[in-house]
Amino acid sequence: MSTPPKKHDCPILNLIKGCGCQSNTTSSSCCGDDHNHPHDHVTSSGNQEKHSHSHDHAHDSSHTHSHETAAASTPPVTVPDEATENDATPAISAEQEKELLADLQDFDNNPAEFMDRSPRKRVEQAGGTDTNLPFFDQAAIDNKAYVGARDELRTSFEANDADHATRAAFTSNDLAQNLVDSYSYTSLQSMQANNLMNVRLNNQPWSDDYWAICRGIIGKRYADPGFPKSSDWNTCHNYVSSRPAASVLTSGSTTAINNLSPSEKYDILVGDSNYTLTKKMWAEGAKFGGNVAPWMGICHGWAPASYMLPRPTKAITVLAADGHTQLTFYPSDIKGLASLLWANASPGTKFIGGRCNVENPARDINGRLIEAACFDTNPGTWHLAVVNQIGVSKRSMVLDVTFDYEVWNQPVLGYRYLHFNPQSMTYQSSLAAAAVSRANYTRDKFSSYHSNQTASIVGIKMFVLYMVETTPSHNSPDSSGKDVINEVEYMYDLELDFSGKIIGGEWRSIKHPDFLWTPTKSSRARTNYEPSGTWQSGQSVPSSWRSAAVSASNAAKPAPLAAIVEQLISLSNS
């Protein structure tokens, strides 16, 4: 571990040391986010006085700029202790420092090879049984079929937005303020001063299945010991068809009824003798002639539902529409219904990033992506989004990585990051010691791409915690300790202007976050058939709700009623 130099020739370092602070201070009244300080003038709506610069393509006369003028500055946001766990500067172990130094040396020796590596991952918590990732077989991995699969899903986000037709650098789809709830900090200095280098949400998103289409989505009888373990749609469908839910219900077997799928229980709950929702679940696979890729599912529903709706904690028993059948909904049943609701009845979604359907995009000699159709979310945008959403706004968001088949629509739980000096290739606890002036960065592999606004560059290694899918079960109660959590590492350089603001950066791997999204904080997934009135505890669902439920199940995008899903969650937590 190197020690900070006594003298700096970098403009940003001189600014840090010349504002009246000692070099190791973190006082917000001097070098931090005082509202009169020039580093972070941000309005509550996310506007700020800054010159944002694109860094996802070579600098030329057509280089895109974004100008934003603040109406007024606001004081810094203080993150309440009860909302997140924060540490001012994350500790680094001897092993982690050794790994960092080895990574930096490997990148310096062969950047093209390093850029193609998969990021280091580890299991942070194995509370449940994960879904045996990866979803992709070796042929799909070799052919990079996951690139096209992601592109197809992202199209649904962008269908009504012409500006998002293809990726472009620092256009409106690459601004952190378009994603986060509260856009408050734009400099590494202010982030460190406000204890935003190490944050973990206390309100943990819940793990759940991705409910594969090849197994019937939420028509899957996951608790039935006879249900095939196969990923073949026909095999799974034939099993259910030969043992229809109506026959199981008529048998009166409590065990068999409890082992029905979430959609079958829902159909019985609302008195739908045609089992409309269940038929719709299996019809989705029939569209592909039964030849359904195993990675296809509703992870895009689970991911937002996991933090937009409370965790169902215990099994509940409710009265079916027939007035005598007692239906037990386990936490996994309720999660499945919630995931389908948010997959097919989700409200508007905020996102940054774009589409890329190029399996082998063009790169430069150092391995950096230069394919016009695959400009990625800038690491400056990524860093601003993570810190301001997880650290400041205290709410999760969904992470996607085009070229990493193991990370696909995962809810973010937390992050921590460390500084390194990209020139000396050393870990630095001091931000001042980690920054190198552009002129003195002789090891720079990305020099031709930097903005002319760049005064200094700081290396970042970020550790991101994200939620992982789990296999559904009849376990009750459910708790955060039964979730599966993974940690992944990302390395990148951040570009800072003369005032210390983050204006861009460069990734050190092509397998990095490039699509982030979240529903708005106050949004609610709702079908077009939501009923009025209330469902009284201990009673069957009202008759008006039953007809509404059938209509919602029969829609082009079938979904359970939000009123029923939210009531089941409430009962599960009462």
Q: What is the DSSP string of 203-267?
A: SPPPP-----GGGTGGG--TT-TTS-----HHHHHHHHHTS-HHHHHHHT-HHHHHTS-HHHHHH
- pLDDT value, residue 172: 53
- Which of 33-47, 276-290, 360-374 shows the highest mean pLDDT? 276-290
Q: What are phi and psi of 435, to 5 degrees?
A: -85, 140
Q: Same structural domain for residues 183 and 255?
A: no
Q: Which residue has the tokens 């968001």?
A: 397
Q: Which residue has the tokens 């986000």?
A: 157
Q: Same structural domain for residues 500 and 377?
A: yes
Instruction: Give the number of domains in the chain.
Output: 2
- pLDDT value, residue 514: 80
C-beta separation of 565 from 338 below 8 A: yes
CA 356/CA 155 separation, integer angstroms: 10
Q: Does 285 have pLDDT greater than 50?
A: yes
Q: How confident is the model at residue 27 (pLDDT cuts 50, 70, 90)?
A: very low
Convert the pLDDT of each residue in 101-133 to its tens digit.
999 999 999 999 999 998 999 999 987 665 544
Q: Please indicate, yes or no, if residue 169 is contained in any of the structural domains.
A: no
Q: Please indicate, yes or no, if residue 331 is contained in any of the structural domains.
A: no
Q: pLDDT over 90 for what percent of the chain?
A: 64
Q: Please indicate, yes or no, if residue 305 is contained in any of the structural domains.
A: no
Q: Please indicate, yes or no, if residue 27 is contained in any of the structural domains.
A: yes
DSSP SS3 for 454: coil
Q: Same structural domain for residues 279 and 383?
A: no
Q: Same structural domain for residues 53 and 180?
A: yes
Convert the pLDDT of each residue in 126-172 to its tens digit.
876 655 444 556 665 555 554 555 455 545 554 434 333 323 234 45
- pLDDT value, residue 486: 94
Q: Please indicate, yes or no, if residue 232 is contained in any of the structural domains.
A: yes
Q: Same structural domain for residues 180 and 249?
A: no
Q: Does 39 have pLDDT greater than 80?
A: no
Convert the pLDDT of each residue in 218-248 to its tens digit.
999 999 999 999 999 999 999 999 999 999 9
Q: Same structural domain for residues 286 and 237?
A: yes
DSSP for 489-542, written as a single string:
EEEEEEEE-TTSBEEEEEES-SSS--EEEEE-TT-----TT---S---TTSPPP
Q: How confident is the model at residue 449 (pLDDT cuts 50, 70, 90)?
A: confident
CA 80/CA 169 separation, integer angstroms: 34
Q: Same structural domain for residues 193 and 247?
A: no
Tokens of 564: 């029923």
Q: Same structural domain for residues 282 and 390?
A: no
189 vs 365, which has greater pLDDT?
A: 189
Region of poorest pLDDT, from 103-112, 125-134, 367-376, 485-494: 125-134
Q: Same structural domain for residues 510 and 381?
A: yes
Write down which residue in 516, 544, 567 finishes a domain: 516
Mean residue pLDDT of the chain comes to: 82
- pLDDT value, residue 129: 60
60 vs 193, which has greater pLDDT?
A: 193
Going by their DSSP bridges, the two strands 326-329 and 398-400 should be labelled as unpaired
Q: Does 73 have pLDDT greater than 90?
A: no
Region of poorest pLDDT, from 210-214, 293-297, 393-397: 293-297
Q: Same structural domain for residues 373 and 280?
A: no
Write down which residue in 464, 489, 516 finishes a domain: 516
Write down which residue in 486, 516, 546 finishes a domain: 516
Q: Same structural domain for residues 243 and 390?
A: no
Region of poorest pLDDT, from 156-170, 193-207, 313-327: 156-170
CA 543/CA 557 separation, integer angstroms: 23
- pLDDT value, residue 294: 87
Q: Please indicate, yes or no, if residue 207 is contained in any of the structural domains.
A: no
Q: How confident is the model at residue 370 (pLDDT cuts 50, 70, 90)?
A: confident
Residues 6+ apart with CB under 8 A from 100: 92, 418, 420, 427, 461
Residues of the domain holding 245: 212-297
CA 567/CA 574 separation, integer angstroms: 10
Q: Please indicate, yes or no, if residue 181 is contained in any of the structural domains.
A: yes
Mean pLDDT of 37-52: 40
Q: Does 61 have pLDDT greater than 80?
A: no
- pLDDT value, residue 83: 43
Q: Does 93 have pLDDT greater than 80?
A: yes
- pLDDT value, residue 173: 66
- pLDDT value, residue 167: 30
Q: Please indicate, yes or no, if residue 565 is contained in any of the structural domains.
A: no
CA 245/CA 277 separation, integer angstroms: 12
Rounded to 10 deg, the angle between the 331-344 and 562-572 helix axes is 150
- pLDDT value, residue 551: 98
Q: Same structural domain for residues 406 and 471?
A: yes
